[in-house]
Amino acid sequence: MALRTPEERFENLPDYGYDAKRVEVDEGIEMAYVDVGDDEADETFLCLHGEPTWSYLYRKMIPTLAAEGRVIVPDLVGFGRSDKPEDEEAYTFASEYGWLESFVKALDLTGVTLVAQDWGGILGLSVAARNPDRFARLVPMNTGLQDGSAGMPDEWEQFRDFVKGADELPVGFLVDAGCVSTLDDEVKAAYEAPFPDASYQAGARALPLRVPTSPDDPGADEIRETRELLSDWEKPAFVLFSDSDPITGPARDDLRKLIPTAEEQPDVWVEDAGHFLQEDAGERVAERIVEFVRRT
C-alpha cells in the first residue's frame, strides 16, 4: 500500500508556491514533480534531491535555472508529494532506479542537464549512464557512487546508525544539521511537511541502509556498472561540491577522475555550504550551473 501526504500539508510553505504535477511510474504509484519555465526551451534541467529532503530543497535555484530553460524537479518515491509505499522493503536501489527511469521516459525528457545531490546523484547518474541519448550534461553535487569497495566516513556511519535506531526521524533537525546556515523554524517545518507521522517515513528510513557497504550488497553491482559506463562519458560534466560536507566531500575527487570530461571544467568548491548546498548557497550554485551550461 502507498500513502499520499494530504495536500494541505504543503500549503503556505515559505518561498514555495509551485503546484505539483503527477505521472504514474509503477502500478498504483505516482511521482509528483514541479515543472517551471518554457517546455519548448532549448535547455532542460532535471533537479534531483536526496535523503531525507524533497523538491523544496531546490526553491532557491529554480528561478535562476528557469530563466535559462525548463526546470523539472521531481520528488523521489517515498518523499515530498510523491506516493509513499509503507513497507521499507519496497525501497531498494533497483526500485528507486526503476521509478526514476520510468519518470524520465514518461515525460520523454531529452537534452537534459542533470543536477543531482545525495541519493539523487546515485540514481540520476545511473539513469543518465544507461540512457545517454536523453542527457546533455551532468552536474553531480555532494554525492557519490559507492559500490561497497571503499569505506564510508565516520560521519556517515553515525548518521546511518542514528536512522537505524530512531523510531521517527526528526527530518527538520537532520536537514538543519546538514547545513552551515541555521534554518528558520518555518523552513524546518517545510522539510517535515511530507511526513505527518512515522508511517510516511519508510523511504527516508530505508535509503541510508541501502548504500552498499560491501561489494556483495544489493545495488553494488548496478553502481559498479554505472561507474564503468561513466568512465566513457564524452559529454560535458561539472562536479560541484561544497567545502563543508564531511559526508560526501571525499567523493568529489573520485567523481572528477571517474568522469573524463569533469576535469575539463574549473576546479570549484562552493564556499560556506554544507551537505545541503542548495539550502546554504542555492542562488550561487544555480549561477555556477548556468555558467557551465553557457560555456558548453
Q: Is 275 a catalytic residue?
A: yes
The DSSP letter of residue 158 is H
Contact of 3 with 86, CB cutoff 8 Å: yes
Cell triple for 246: 564531511
Is the bond into 52 cis (omega within 30 degrees of 0)?
A: yes
Of 49, 75, 176, 275, which is the active-site residue? Answer: 275
Q: Is 49 a catalytic residue?
A: no
Taking the C-alpha atoms of residue 227 and residue 192, their distance in angstroms, rounded to an integer, is 33
Of 83, 176, 245, 280, which is the active-site residue? Answer: 245
Taking the C-alpha atoms of residue 189 and residue 9, their distance in angstroms, rounded to an integer, is 10
Taking the C-alpha atoms of residue 141 and residue 248, their distance in angstroms, rounded to an integer, is 9
Of 75, 83, 118, 147, which is the active-site residue? Answer: 118
Q: Is 245 a catalytic residue?
A: yes
Reported for 251-259, long-range contacts at CB under 8 A and 24+ positions apart, including other chains, are: 251/143, 251/144, 251/145, 251/146, 254/144, 254/145, 255/140, 255/143, 255/144, 255/145, 258/145, 258/227, 258/230, 258/231, 259/138, 259/230, 259/231, 259/233
Which are the catalytic amino acids? 118, 245, 275
